[in-house]
Amino acid sequence: MPQHIAIIMDGNRRWAKNRFMPAALGHAAGAKQVRDIVKTCAEIGVSHLSLFAFSTENWKRPEEEVSSLMGLFMSYLQKEVDSMNTNGVRLKVVGDKSRFAPALQDLIVRAEQQTANNTRITLTVCANYGGRWDMVQAAQAWQQAHPGQSLQALTEEALAPYLSTAYAPEVDLLIRTGGESRISNFMLWQAAYAELFFTDDLWPDFSPARLKEAITWFAGRDRRFGSSAPL
């Protein structure tokens, strides 16, 4: 059983386009799907689930779409936090949150505080997040914590505690929906040895059954982490 699953939730806009709907309705349909996936992960014993909700590159999208995504994020936090708290879900939001509106930043802080003591599963929502940003901010944080040390003293082990997801184990299984076969600057460090599962399912169609299929596929992988295959 993978302990940390990360998902690139791709295909909301195409799902809406296929139904002659605006992109905003595709994103709304995708947000609804999150609840079932979180519930399924909690039920089968996955301790950490990370979702790529909004990348640092997504600001390039049309202003109207970005605005609707921000509104959807706020709505999600307002509607789902009580349910998450009841069901033992700890919420973490990682990424450069400074670009978000103050009201959204406040909602994030309150949601994280409200669910901080939950232990059944940790749900990480990656918003205004990029893997390259994560490594840069970790290096900067390390330097600030060790102002008298040379960069020669910086090792992988020393940097790891400053990554945005230092509270979580490294990613075991990375899933991307939507038919693309790339990781798009998502958790580059954390997913260094992750198994990669790509599916043509658009995110609003990604069901708990498909998730279990991905986990079954994962269970059959021979994870050697760079060592030689057994004789």
Mean pLDDT of the chain: 94
Q: Is 185 among the catalytic positions?
A: no
Model pTM greater than 0.85? yes
DSSP conformational letter for 170:
P
- Distance between CA atoms of residues 89 and 124, nearest Å: 10
The domain ranges of the chain are 4-130+169-219
DSSP conformational letter for 99:
G
Report whether 24 contacts 194 (CB < 8 A).
no
Report whether 125 contacts 93 (CB < 8 A).
yes
pLDDT greater than 50 at residue 52? yes
Q: Give 108-144 pLDDT, tens digit per residue.
A: 999 999 999 999 999 999 999 999 999 999 999 999 9
- Distance between CA atoms of residues 218 and 44, nearest Å: 14
What tokens appear for 108 in the block? 């994030």
User: Could you tell me the fold of the domain covering 4-130+169-219?
Assistant: Undecaprenyl pyrophosphate synthetase (3.40.1180)
Lowest-pLDDT choice from 24-28, 79-83, 226-230? 226-230
Q: Give 180-203 pLDDT, tens digit per residue.
A: 999 999 999 999 999 999 999 999
4 is in an annotated binding site: no
Count the helix, strand and coil residues of the chain and give each as a percent rounded to the nearest 5.
Answer: 50, 15, 35
- Which distant-in-sequence residues (6+ apart) come within 8 Å of 114 by Cβ? 81, 85
Report whether 204 contacts 15 (CB < 8 A).
yes
44 is in an annotated binding site: no
pLDDT of residue 64: 87
Q: How many CA atoms lie within 13 A of 17 on its CB side?
A: 5
27 is in an annotated binding site: yes
Which amino acid does the sequence have at 140? Answer: Q
Q: Is 58 among the catalytic positions?
A: yes
DSSP conformational letter for 1:
-
Catalytic residue among 36, 58, 134, 172: 58
pLDDT of residue 213: 97
Q: How many residues does the chain have?
A: 231
183 is in an annotated binding site: yes
Q: Give 199-226 pLDDT, tens digit per residue.
A: 999 999 999 999 999 999 999 998 776 6
3-class secondary-structure state, position 66:
helix
DSSP conformational letter for 6:
E
pLDDT of residue 229: 57
